[in-house]
Chains A and B, each alone.
Chain A
């Protein structure tokens, strides 16, 4: 027991040294952070190393440079929890399905009779047919439009559910397709939010899908949640609609399947347009700011194959008719079609200035959100409040640490000092591990560390108390130390595993700051067991080997 093999010793010291090395950059937080930012700037944005030499030189590159991330409550920033309105996608799908259904059924006019789209609940398409005897044919034809669902779980299912309700064909997305669509919508939304946040270029934003239909967005350093909402809340949905007329107010009566859309620049001007768009922003492959033939700012775009075919057909058949370019429910321009456009590219005019055309191009490139977002939770924490919390946490931790060190020293003398050394190493190891796994430190996390300072001595206390007891039965110091470790072990394991279980549950169930607490608590348990069972023991054994005391007092 008191003979610890050399490789074992090397291993223990190795872990300690490595842990402390990873913890060290946190002592020079500002300097290391500036250096890391400089490195990122050079790698990603192609910054000039010469300009950033000052920052780069602040921290040698051969030393570890990962830092503990500071949570929003410590650094300040904005936190949003958004819910994606996945149902909107069903509606859009039904709208875009209508022209296809219409064309299919028109070809069968002889059998089916006249067709009319009826108002339907959201996410359904209702089509009234003139000749009810043709229903079977009509259903079969519409079912032909469905495709197999593309997803892992929905294999074999069809995308559409088509049924007859009297003279009405009811079309909606199938259950499997809805699930597959939801999933695609979420992946797309997260990606688009990420692209938009990246455009602002703040440090280490968190953008995570949460549950079925939510996105968690945390951006440190941004002024307020409002600002962040403006950035990601814009849908940037671009659509091209045939214009059927003009109106003077938003409340004007619109014929079925048409809608009234306000003009963006001219107050009081409204367009009547068909609800189903001819083209949507998803068909765009690229968008760049440019100028039209009169030298006014515009956005040039390219269409994918489907888009260019549809656009070509439409423009060919509707020369002379106006069509509207609608962005998030406002008409930005409504030109007349002068000639067929078949080369798969075009221009959106109507930008007021270059800044606006550039922004529009960026939003179009980043893509539209497939569905709107509603915000369920928003938090803004000012940087000063965070700085205050860090300062208060630091002072509290230092005072707590010193008080515990003194108390341990008074209670156990020399052995207390050994435990103290282990305690200091322990806190170092927690920071080392936090940096290594890139965990986020929150205010409750700091509380977790302080709590660990108090509880970390527990394992050592158990051992020392046990050694005291064993000494009473006078077996000689070496034997007492040995027995002390042996007998205390099961209590140490049981006590710490139970606490660890609660930390794990906290981590899985909790979010944000609570999770930060769970991480420091959990890591603290691991490191304190390690330091008590290995580090303190090693220190004790080294001391014992040198002194060979005949008597020890714990």
Chain B
């Protein structure tokens, strides 16, 4: 007996929910954009400049006492976050201290770090500082640019690839889906105020890759079925293709989620935000490749005459292993 999360044969009408999905997704996208402008992302020092000090102590942390000790130094905006992790031992108390970039200074001065460390040691003599990281404002500005550029480039490259392999309608459908995923991920980071640093950009690009992976598999089947059922309506073909690939879609999403969830729980607090972004991305990516990408494709329509290559850029290449 096999474990099956999806019946062997399904014939669900996904397009029955397409209007609902479009409205829901549209609302979520708008909400994310509003959140981004109203609340904003909780940028880490990679993007904002400043210093992050990780502290570890044996006695419980009194964030208030830490704050009092540090406020006396007059370093401007300081945030202190206590970190909890199931993998920590009972007497391990970790915080992250974020200090804003100091006026007129590229990099932190050693004196400042020494002063901060001394002040905290005053509060708790057992305290240690496993990591101290600081990024100057010039570099952080460039990192923001590079990050935005990287995401745009990835989306652009994918747009072109799918256009070459399929048709432009497929390309737009896929890109709509992954822009949706990226925006929703940024939205959820705004909402939960999880620290947004360089690693999250890596996660975003992975989401782009993953979301695409799913979409492409569905589209590949659509292309095949369009050739097979020349007379059937596009909507029907799309629905059939989604149903045929559904078992695979669920299977892959579940294995990926299994791996990611174990990393989320056991992988330590340093990469938790990163893993969270990817888990969210897999869930949203799976949803969007089924509902968003196909719906966009259905609305745009598609050229049906696959048998006669017309010499267009798309079809020549797409026949290579057809």
Distance A501 CA – B154 CA, assembled complex (angstroms): 7
The total of interchain contacts (Cβ-Cβ below 8 angstroms) comes to 231
Q: Report the stretch among B23-31, B67-75, B215-223 that lies at the interface.
A: B215-223
Instruction: Check if B130 sits within 8 Å of A408, measured CB to CB.
Output: no
**B15 interface residue per 8 A CB criterion:** no
Q: How large is the interface on A (under 10, 10 to 19, 20 to 34, 35 or more residues)?
A: 35 or more
Distance A487 CA – B278 CA, assembled complex (angstroms): 29
B257 to chain A, nearest CB (A): 7
Q: Enumerate B107-152 residues with CB–CB distance to A below 8 Å.
A: 107-108, 110, 113, 128-136, 138-139, 146-147, 149-150
Q: Which residue of B lies closest to A502 (CB)?
A: B209
Instruction: Check if A455 sits within 8 Å of B150, measured CB to CB.
Output: no
B4 to chain A, nearest CB (A): 7
Q: A495-B213, A499-B210 in contact; A376/B139 too (CB < 8 A)?
A: yes
Instruction: Check if B131 sits within 8 Å of A407, measured CB to CB.
Output: no
- Highest count of chain A CB atoms <10 Å: which of B150, B165, B259: B259
Instruction: Check if B205 sits within 8 Å of A502, measured CB to CB.
Output: yes
Q: A382-B129, A382-B131, A490-B321 in contact; A506/B150 too (CB < 8 A)?
A: yes
Instruction: Check if A403 sits within 8 Å of B87, measured CB to CB.
Output: no
B317 to chain A, nearest CB (A): 11
From A380, A382, A385, A453, B259 is in contact (CB under 8 Å) with A453
Instruction: Check if B198 sits within 8 Å of A225, measured CB to CB.
Output: no
Instruction: Check if B107 sits within 8 Å of A376, measured CB to CB.
Output: yes
Chain A contact residues, majority secondary structure: helix
**A444 interface residue per 8 A CB criterion:** yes
**B16 interface residue per 8 A CB criterion:** no
Instruction: Check if A505 sits within 8 Å of B108, measured CB to CB.
Output: no
**B153 interface residue per 8 A CB criterion:** yes
Q: A400-B262, A495-B216 in contact; A379/B131 too (CB < 8 A)?
A: yes
Instruction: Check if B106 sits within 8 Å of A498, measured CB to CB.
Output: no
Residues of A within 8 A of B248 (CB): 461-462, 465
**B188 interface residue per 8 A CB criterion:** no
B59 to chain A, nearest CB (A): 18
Q: Report the stretch among A50-58, A189-197, A234-242, A507-515 that lies at the interface.
A: A507-515
Q: A225-B132, A450-B259 in contact; A491/B267 too (CB < 8 A)?
A: no
Q: How large is the interface on B (under 10, 10 to 19, 20 to 34, 35 or more residues)?
A: 35 or more
**B199 interface residue per 8 A CB criterion:** yes
Residues of B within 8 A of A457 (CB): 251-252, 255
Instruction: Check if A404 sits within 8 Å of B255, measured CB to CB.
Output: yes
**B2 interface residue per 8 A CB criterion:** yes
**B247 interface residue per 8 A CB criterion:** yes
Q: Enumerate B223-273 residues with CB–CB distance to A below 8 Å.
A: 224, 244-245, 247-248, 251-252, 254-260, 262-263, 265-268, 270-271
Q: A396-B262, A410-B3, A509-B149 in contact; A498/B130 too (CB < 8 A)?
A: no
- Highest count of chain B CB atoms <10 Å: which of A384, A392, A493, A521: A392
Instruction: Check if B8 sits within 8 Å of A468, measured CB to CB.
Output: yes
Distance A486 CA – B303 CA, assembled complex (angstroms): 25
**B161 interface residue per 8 A CB criterion:** yes
- Highest count of chain A CB atoms <10 Å: which of B198, B199, B201, B271: B271
Residues of A within 8 A of B209 (CB): 498-499, 501-503, 521
Residues of A within 8 A of B274 (CB): 444, 447
Residues of A within 8 A of B263 (CB): 393, 396-397, 400, 447, 450-451
Residues of B within 8 A of A380 (CB): 131-133
Q: A393-B267, A494-B165, A498-B212 in contact; A505/B131 too (CB < 8 A)?
A: no
From A375, A465, A506, B107 is in contact (CB under 8 Å) with A375
Distance A511 CA – B140 CA, assembled complex (angstroms): 13
Instruction: Check if B322 sits within 8 Å of A490, measured CB to CB.
Output: yes
Instruction: Check if A410 sits within 8 Å of B154, measured CB to CB.
Output: no
**B158 interface residue per 8 A CB criterion:** yes
**B157 interface residue per 8 A CB criterion:** yes
From A446, A455, A518, B252 is in contact (CB under 8 Å) with A455
**A317 interface residue per 8 A CB criterion:** no
From B139, B154, B247, A377 is in contact (CB under 8 Å) with B139
Instruction: Check if B205 sits within 8 Å of A505, measured CB to CB.
Output: yes
**A378 interface residue per 8 A CB criterion:** yes
What is the 8 Å Cβ interface bit string for chain A, positions 257-275, against chain B (1 contact, 0 not)? 0000000000000000000
Q: A396-B263, A411-B251, A465-B247 in contact; A501/B201 too (CB < 8 A)?
A: no
B243 to chain A, nearest CB (A): 11
Residues of A within 8 A of B3 (CB): 407, 410-411
B91 to chain A, nearest CB (A): 15
Instruction: Check if A455 sits within 8 Å of B256, measured CB to CB.
Output: yes
Residues of B within 8 A of A140 (CB): none
What is the 8 Å Cβ interface bit string for chain B, positions 165-205, against chain A (1 contact, 0 not)? 10000000000000000000000000000000011011001
Instruction: Check if B206 sits within 8 Å of A502, measured CB to CB.
Output: yes
Q: Enumerate A351-391 residues with CB–CB distance to B below 8 Å.
A: 374-382, 384-385, 388-389
Q: Which residue of B lies closest to A412 (CB)?
A: B2
**B162 interface residue per 8 A CB criterion:** yes
Instruction: Check if A396 sits within 8 Å of B266, measured CB to CB.
Output: yes
Q: Which residue of B lies closest to A402 (CB)?
A: B262
Instruction: Check if A505 sits within 8 Å of B157, measured CB to CB.
Output: yes
The 9 A-B pairs at the shortest CB distance, nearest first, are namely: A454-B259, A392-B268, A454-B256, A499-B209, A382-B130, A385-B130, A410-B3, A502-B209, A509-B150
- Taking A380-B131, A510-B198 as known contacts, 7 extra A-B pairs with beta carbons closer than 8 A to each other, sorted by chain A number, are A381-B133, A382-B129, A385-B131, A404-B259, A451-B259, A494-B216, A509-B150
What are 24 inter-chain pairs, A to B, with CB distance below 8 A? A381-B130, A381-B131, A385-B130, A389-B270, A389-B271, A392-B87, A400-B258, A404-B259, A451-B260, A454-B256, A454-B257, A454-B258, A465-B248, A490-B321, A491-B220, A495-B212, A498-B216, A499-B213, A502-B158, A502-B205, A502-B212, A506-B205, A509-B146, A513-B199
Q: Which residues in B have some Cβ–Cβ distance to A below 8 Å?
A: 2-4, 8, 54, 87, 106-108, 110, 113, 128-136, 138-139, 146-147, 149-150, 153-154, 157-158, 161-162, 165, 198-199, 201-202, 205-206, 208-210, 212-214, 216-217, 219-221, 224, 244-245, 247-248, 251-252, 254-260, 262-263, 265-268, 270-271, 274-275, 278, 321-322
